[in-house]
Amino acid sequence: MDEPGAEAPRLLELGADPDAVLRLIRYFDGFDESDANADAVVRAAALLAECPAGARWPSGTTIRYDAAGRALPAVMPPPEVIGEPAVWLERAGAAHALDAVLVDRLRHCLRVVAVRGSVAGPTGLDDPALLEVVLSEKQRREDRVRAMRLLGIDPAQPMRVLAVSGPGAVEAVRIIGARVRLVRSAPIGATTAVLIQDREGCRELSDVLNSAVVHKFPASRRGACGPWVGMGERLPAYAAATSWEQARRALRFASSTWHGRRVVAYERLGSLALLGELPVQRLLGISDVLRVNEFAATEAGALAVDTLEAFCVFGSLRRTAAELHLHHSTVAARIAQVEAVMGWDVDEALDRFMATLALTVRRIALSSAELAADPEAAGRADPTRVG
C-alpha cells in the first residue's frame, strides 16, 4: 500500500490502529513525491475508500470519481465541508474510522499537487489572460499547452468549449458546472468561455443543459433575455480555439423566443452553420425576413408568425394546437394568414422548407440583436466577436 498506484487494500480492510493510520499517510505521501495530477489523487482516494470522492476549488473546478474509479459529473460539495480545496467522501453507510484521516491526507496531497502548478496553484497571470492564450489560434501550440498546465488542464484529454452570454450567464455557468466537469471558466469580452472535459454525446449534453436553463429561466410568448449558450465540439485540447469559434457561432442560433433553444450545439447545426457566418444586417435584409418582420409588426401578425414557427417545430396541426392550447382550426387560420402574405403553402414540402428556413434566419437575426442589446455587451456590433 505504500506506493501510489500499487495494488492497495481497501479502507474497509484496514483497522483503526496507529499502524493503519501510518500506512494511509505513507500511501498519500507517495503521491507528494510523484508527478501525479489531481485527477489521479482523487481517483485513488475513491478506490481506496470504496465510495465516491470529490474535490472542488474556489475557481469552480471540480473532480469527482466513483468507487470503481470512473469520473462522475461535478456537484457542489456537502454544506458541512470546509477547507480549500473542499474535499469529501460520499459514503452511503456509516463512516469508517479512518475517513477523517483519508480526507485530511487527500486535501494535503491536492495542495502539494497545486504547488507543482496544477489545478489551483498561483500562475502569475489572471485566469482570463491564460484562458485567452488557450483559446487563441494566434498563440504557439507550446504556449497554449503551457497555459493549459498552469490552469490545471490536462492537454492529453479532449476538451469542449461553451460560450455563454446574456443576463443570467453566471447562473448558467453554475448549471453547466453542476452537470459536467467544469475545468475552467472566465469572461472574455462580453462572453463567458467555459471549458469542460465531458464524456457525453453532443445531443444528450445539449438537451440536458437546454432543459436545465429553460427550467431556471423560463421563456414566455413575449420572449426572455438570456442566458444563451453555444456549444462547440469536443476536440483535442490543443484545438480548443476551434471549439471556441464553433461555440460562438452556435451562440447566434440560441434564442429566448417562445420556441427557440437556449443551448445550441454546433455539431447539430450541420449545413445550417453556414448561416451563422453571415453578418446580422445581411440576414435582416433578406426579402423573406423583411416581409415576415413587417407582417409581425402588428399584434395579430406576431401571433400568426409565432404559430407558424410552432408548426414548423412540432410538425403537425394537431400537436401544434395541443402545445399552444388552441383549437386546431385557430392554428390553421393563423398559418393561412402568413401563407397569404408570403405566398407559401406549407402543405407543399418546398414551401414548408422555405418557411422553416426564413423563420430560422429571422431567429438568428433576432437572437443576434438581443445579444448586441445586452447591457454587458454594449458597444459590440458582432455578438460572436470576443474581446
Domain ranges of the chain: 11-115, 127-277, 282-377
Question: Mean of the pLDDT values across residues 20-37?
Answer: 81
Task: Yes or no: say if 56 and 77 are a contact pair by the CB < 8 Å rule.
Answer: yes
Cα angle, residue 10 at apex, residues 6 and 14 outer, rounded to 5°: 115
Mean pLDDT computed over 280-305: 89
Q: How much is the mean pLDDT over the chain?
A: 81
> Mean pLDDT throughout 289-310?
91
How far apart CA 41 and CA 117 sit, in angstroms, is: 15
Top CATH class of 127-277 equals alpha beta
Average pLDDT (362-378) is 64
> Which architecture characterizes domain 282-377 according to CATH?
Orthogonal Bundle (1.10)
Q: Which of 387, 364, 26 is nearest to 187 (CA)?
A: 387
Q: Check residue 368 and give its pLDDT.
A: 72
Model pLDDT, residue 329: 92
What average pLDDT score do residues 357-383 get?
62
User: Are both 127-277 and 282-377 of the same fold?
Assistant: no
pLDDT value of position 275: 82
Q: Report the chain's terminal Cα–Cα distance, integer Å.
A: 51
Residue 271 has what pLDDT?
86
Confidence class for position 366, pLDDT limits 50, 70, 90: confident
